[in-house]
């Protein structure tokens, strides 16, 4: 399972990275790498059995902070 995970994420990196580098899209590259790394870490943790907290609490906090009702 972990090998497939690594291969899938390496494939995504291999497909996207050269285009972003060739076109010198540094901001898109930075956003892509941050999201790619976040997705990889979360997928890896889930695949080894770590229970991740639900993002609902964080979303509720942000909504209540910006839209106090």
* pLDDT value at residue 26: 95
Give me the tens of pLDDT residue by residue for the chain, a chain 69 residues long: 889 999 999 999 999 999 999 999 999 999 999 999 999 999 999 999 999 888 898 899 999 999 877
Count of Cβ atoms closer than 10 Å to residue 45 Cβ = 12
pTM above 0.85, yes or no: no
pLDDT in the model for residue 27:
95
CA 14 to chain centre: 16
- What was the pLDDT predicted at 46? 92
């Amino acid at each position: 399972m972990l090998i497939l995970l690594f291969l899938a994420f390496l494939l995504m990196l291999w497909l996207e990275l050269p285009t972003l580098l060739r076109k010198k899209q540094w901001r898109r590259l930075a956003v892509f790498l941050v999201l790619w790394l976040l997705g990889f870490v979360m997928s890896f943790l889930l695949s080894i059995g770590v229970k991740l907290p639900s993002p609902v609490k964080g979303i509720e906090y942000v909504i209540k902070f910006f839209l106090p009702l």
